[in-house]
Structure 1
């Protein structure tokens, strides 16, 4: 499938790699199909690109790279919607808010993207009753440093 993207221009993506978001993403309920694309020269960040809206693309990352203690449980309804994946079949992503300078960029830990890597289905889960917020600085400044 050929798609127009926000960061890669016009590209061809393999249909088998497309991700289905049955209920869309909060705020984008009509967007049901995305491609997870690499950012060239960077293995830590990816682009979650809508296949139908070229300007709709989210920079994402594996939150455990920056927050090793990140932990949450998925509710039964979310697991059902994702096709009841095993732990090994789940990929967790956080949507980033990229800022200038980059060291000010933040990750949304309150609403992770959960992907069933086997069924190629995805869902953004909004965690409740948690201390996680929508803006956690990914490049935290070491203690005692002034910037």
Structure 2
């Protein structure tokens, strides 16, 4: 399936790479079909990817694996909210956080409160509101990322 994207041009996506969000995502309820694009070379380690709408070229949301930000990330949610995704198991669960990268990169943040939950087996997803009271909507990650880069010997 060929899709047009604003940031990656025309991309050929296999049907099994399409993720359906039956209720859409917050603020974009009318768009239900997405894929995950990675802006990397094959040999690079990646951390930031893009949740790209297959229906709207300009709708691409930077996302990150929460364990890259917080090793203890474990959003609390009622089982009923995830029912439509199919049986969730440890090996089919994908959690992604939205990332905001403003012009002042020191204010880069992730939303710990509203992660995307995806069942990789059924390729269905939803965006939830985590019941964790300590999860912030704008969790600053700039210093965290700098620390990780220093540990890896990068600038």
User: Which TM-score applies when normalising by structure 2?
Assistant: 0.85
> Distance in 1 between the 2:106 and 2:64 partners?
15
Structure 1 stretches of at least 4 aligned residues deviating more than 3 Å after TM superposition:
none
| Aligned equivalent of 1:52 | 55
More helix by proportion, 1 or 2? Answer: 2
For 2:135 and 2:96, how far apart are their aligned partners in 1? 14
> Does residue 90 in structure 1 map to residue 112 in structure 2?
no
Task: Structure 2 unaligned segments of length 5 or more: list them.
Answer: 148-155
CA RMSD of aligned residues (A): 1.6
Deviates further, 22-31 or 121-130: 121-130
Q: Is the 8 A contact 2:77 2:129 kept in 1?
A: no
| CA drift at 1:99 | 1.9
Q: Which residue of 2 aligns with 1:116?
A: 119
C-alpha displacement at 1:129, in angstroms? 5.2
Count of aligned pairs: 142
Q: Is the 8 A contact 1:66 1:139 kept in 2?
A: no
Local SS of the residue matching 2:34: strand
C-alpha separation between the residues in 2 aligned to 1:90 and 1:45? 18
Secondary structure of the residue aligned to 1:87 is coil
Deviation of 1:105 (Å):
0.7
Tell me what 2:150 maps to: none
Matches within 5 A, 1:51-70: 51-70=54-73
SS at match of 1:11: strand
Taking a change above 3 Å as real, the CA distance of residues 74 and 128 of structure 1, as seen in their structure-2 partners, is closer
Q: What is the match of residue 20 of structure 2?
A: 20
TM-score, normalised via structure 1 length: 0.89
Taking a change above 3 Å as real, the CA distance of residues 62 and 129 of structure 1, as seen in their structure-2 partners, is closer
1:68, distance to aligned residue in structure 2 (A): 1.3
- Structure 1: which 5+ residue stretches go unaligned? 143-147
Q: State the secondary structure of the residue aligned to 2:91.
A: helix
Distance, in Å, in 2 between the alignment partners of 1:9 and 1:66 is 29
